[in-house]
Amino acid sequence: MASISDQMGIGETSHPMNFLLNEELNLPTAGEIRQGWVVSQQGNEILVDIGAKSEGIIPNQEVEKLDKETRDLLSPGSEVLVFVVDPEDQNGNVILSYVKAAQEQDWQLAESLMNTQEVYEGPIIGFNKGGLLIRVGQLRGFVPNSQLELDRFSDRQITPSQLQKMVGKSLGAKVIEVSKERNRLILSERAAGKELREAKRNRLLDSIQEGDAFDGRVVNLTEYGAFVDIGGIEGLVHVSELSWKRVKKPADILQVGDKVKVAVISVDQDKQRIALSMKRLEADPWSEIDKLYQEGQLIEATITKLTKFGAFARLNDDYELEGLIHISELSEDHVEHPREILKPSDVIMVRVIRIAPEQRQLGLSIKEVSSAKYIEADMALLATN
């Protein structure tokens, strides 16, 4: 005669009391994630206490695939989360998986990141012609080429060789699609662009100091200077800081896109402004002026400006320093105003009559060019040439 259980179609494994038994003994069930403690490592198997009055096993097939860093996390005594793959295999063992537990958590993290739109930063672990692979915990996320910031690529063109160079670096991106069922995790660097630039700018502002040198790129030119991007923040190189040579306007020596070296000369944290200089990374000709010029030396110059007290002239050499021809040094004859005998852009011969490095001044003379007291020096110079 069939038992009551048989008549009701209830087998031994589904006895109503089994539920209470499982609860009392805390028996594991398939698909469950449990907290455990590593008991030991036996060969390539890891034994984990999951509170079921028996130890579960992370099998060697999984352990062999773990990297060294992860295996170190699974040392005896370590607390870990594990996924119950099989509550009882054919040998009576509870089969566990560290990777699946981590993946389950990572899928939850991915969902949270998509909902909050928080920027995630992770290592680039590979690439294909369509984009980059980024690690999100134990998961592999994909950043398509269309979701990458083009500014990081030369000529704003994405090539396989450029993608390959990014492997091993970190990338900040936002999660834009999650599908655990399809094993699909898509991220976008472009969506995170604004936050990343702001974070990078703030980090740079916090760490930057006067005297720091940077490789930069010219992003804008104005009449009064050049704006240079030094890696997330723009600073101004005033026209007076472009070169030791006289520069009328930045466009005379620079173009947008030019790569330049700059030094930080001041930082205003409150206004978030940075002043930069190009010339301070070059040798200052005034620091070795005595080696460059001697009193009595003849040199060609170009008139740059006329004033009531004299004329300014730029020396026509590699250094293009500017000196003053005082009105009394313009001619042997009396001159009321320099415009009587000169005009801007005139090319003339001048003699150096005064060198003052401390004041950064050169005194020049036209009337001394033919002075008899310099004949011997001029003849000696001609002889050497």
Task: In whole angstroms, give the CA distance from residue 57 to residue 39.
Answer: 10
Q: What are phi and psi of 3, to 5 degrees?
A: -70, 170
- Which pLDDT value is given to residue 382? 61
From 193, 195, 189, select the one nearest 145 (Cα to Cα). Answer: 189
Q: What is the DSSP string of 265-333?
A: EEEETTTTEEEEESGGGS--GGGGHHHH--TT-EEEEEEEEEETTEEEEEESSSS--EEEEEGGGS-SS
Tell the residue number behind the tokens 């089969």, with chain if given.
Answer: 95
Residue extents of the structural domains in the chain: 27-102, 117-195, 208-281, 285-384
**CATH code of the domain occupying 27-102:** 2.40.50.140
Three-state secondary-structure class, residue 244? coil
Name the amino acid, one letter, at 227.
F
Does the pLDDT of residue 206 top 80, yes or no?
A: yes
Give the three-class secondary structure for 352.
strand
The pLDDT assigned to 381 comes to 61
For residue 7, the model assigns a pLDDT of 35
Fold entry, domain 208-281: OB fold (Dihydrolipoamide Acetyltransferase, E2P) (2.40.50)
What percentage of the chain exceeds 90 in pLDDT?
A: 54
- pLDDT for position 5: 37
**Per-residue model confidence (pLDDT) at position 194:** 79
pLDDT for 177 equals 95
Q: Convert the pLDDT of each residue in 228-259 to its tens digit.
A: 999 878 999 999 999 988 888 999 999 999 99
Is there a common fold for 27-102 and 117-195?
Answer: yes
**pLDDT-based confidence at residue 383 (cuts at 50, 70, 90):** low
Q: What is the pLDDT of residues 143-163, one digit of tens each?
A: 999 999 887 887 778 999 999
Task: Average the pLDDT over each of 168-182, 197-211, 231-245, 345-359 and give the range with the smallest value.
Answer: 197-211
Query: The domain 117-195 belongs to what CATH superfamily?
Result: Nucleic acid-binding proteins (2.40.50.140)
Residue 8: its pLDDT value, please? 36
What the block records as the tokens of 19 is 């539920």
Decide if pLDDT at 355 tops 50: yes
Q: How confident is the model at residue 197 (pLDDT cuts 50, 70, 90)?
A: confident
Are 301 and 316 contacting, i.e. CB atoms less than 8 angstroms apart? yes
Mean pLDDT of the region 185-206 = 84
* Residue 231 to residue 266: CA distance in whole angstroms: 17
| C-alpha span between 184 and 165 (Å, rounded) | 25
Which tens digit of pLDDT belongs to each residue from 312-326? Answer: 999 998 888 999 999
pLDDT band at 385 (very low <50, low <70, confident <90, very high): low
Q: Looking at the domain covering 285-384, what would its CATH class be?
A: mainly beta
Q: Give the mean pLDDT of 109-122.
A: 93
Of the two residues 42 and 339, the one the predictor is more confident about is: 339
Q: What is the average pLDDT value for the chain, to the nearest integer?
A: 86
Q: Is the pLDDT of residue 212 over 50?
A: yes
Half-sphere exposure of 4 (CA within 13 A, CB side): 2
Residue 324, strand partner residues:
312, 363
Asked if the model's pLDDT at residue 6 lies above 50, the reply is: no
Mean pLDDT, range 127-138, rounded to an integer: 92
pLDDT value at position 227? 96
